[in-house]
Amino acid sequence: MSTRPGRRQRQTIVSEQPVTKRACRRIAVSGAGGLVGSALVPHLRAAGYEVLRLVRRPPLDASDEIYWNPVRGELDLHGLSGIDAVVHLAGENIAAGRWTPSRKAAIRDSRVAATRLLCEGLARLPKPPAALIAASAVGYYGDRGDEPLTEESGPGTGFLPELVRAWEAATEPARRTGLRVVNLRTGLVLAREGGALARMLRPFRLFVGGPVGDGRQYWSWIARSDLVTAIEHLLRTEVSGPVNVTAPEPVRNGEFARILGRALNRPAAVRLPSWLVKLAFGQMGTELLLASARVLPERLIATGFSHRYPQLDQALRAELAR
């Protein structure tokens, strides 16, 4: 079996051993340098886990880095040997720019093709890991107004729902091998260093923040620290399939703006009209900013998980004071 960076894995080895329940103590993480991964890795290490990071360059430290290159279809299977679980977080930022055809293709490849490469590789291991915790998104549900959405709710329509359905389907090779696969349908992740919250802080601090559109659309969110502890929690459970990883109290966008303004001691009076969102951001603005998804973490709570920040004002104040 060839495992050197720069060479593709060609030999197929199908495990005939069923995956047995075992403690997940040795964890591989993709997207370890991203908004969530950069908080997850130190959290897991502090909790006593051994963490190895999947990196897209030749590893600098063979003890805690595993090479992969999804664009070139390369994955170091030898480095994944002996892993108890994989947390797969890698993917292009969907809010980095307008969704041109080339941008959509890059987003899809970074999620669907990369996930398929990883899962097909895991399926080839003589002894696969016990679990795969794979990133997904509440974009699965699309624009659903005031409808409460649980894991039993069907998909919506549009680019995001189609993308997320394909993204989750790409984990099927791992699931067929017997891995316990969890699809993390995350909401808006609150972190001051990046993501949507970081982009909102500047206009609010300049006194030009406020609701988007009519402000009635539901935004489903989660504090980054709660997302990190939820991932660790899911490593220790036996749940599989889609899990909504959101706070239990989604809020309308207008309420979100009001609470953020209060946390910053700023007004939230400058509304960004829908027509300007569509003009400036096109389909991305319509599906990310104007769509309404009232997502409830039903399965996560059923596993016994307790949010530290179930309410938005708590989460924002804690994040901004950090």
Model pLDDT for residues 52-73, shown as the tens digit of each residue: 999 998 888 778 999 999 999 9
Tens-digit pLDDT profile for residues 227-261? 999 999 999 999 999 999 999 999 999 999 999 99
Q: Return all residues near 41 (Cβ < 8 A) that are at least 6 apart.
A: 29, 32, 51, 53
Indicate whether 13 pLDDT > 80: no
Quick one: what percent of the chain has pLDDT higher than 90? 87
Q: Is pLDDT at 203 greater than 80 in this prediction?
A: yes
| Residue 70 CB partners (closer than 8 Å, separation 6+) | 56, 90, 109, 110, 113, 114, 117, 118
For the chain, the structural domain boundaries read 26-189+220-246+295-307
Neighbours of 79 (CB within 10 A): 19
CB–CB of 242/151 below 8 Å?
A: yes
Q: How confident is the model at residue 8 (pLDDT cuts 50, 70, 90)?
A: very low
As a whole-number percent, the residues of the chain with pLDDT over 70 amount to 93
Q: List the structure tokens of 195.
A: 């993501």
Q: Reply yes or no on domain 26-189+220-246+295-307 having CATH 3.40.120.10.
A: no
Query: Which single residue is written with the structure tokens 């316990």?
Result: 180
Burial 216-249 (b: 16+ CB within 10 A, else e): ebbbbbbbbbbbbbbbbbbbebebbebbbbbbee
pLDDT, averaged across the chain: 91
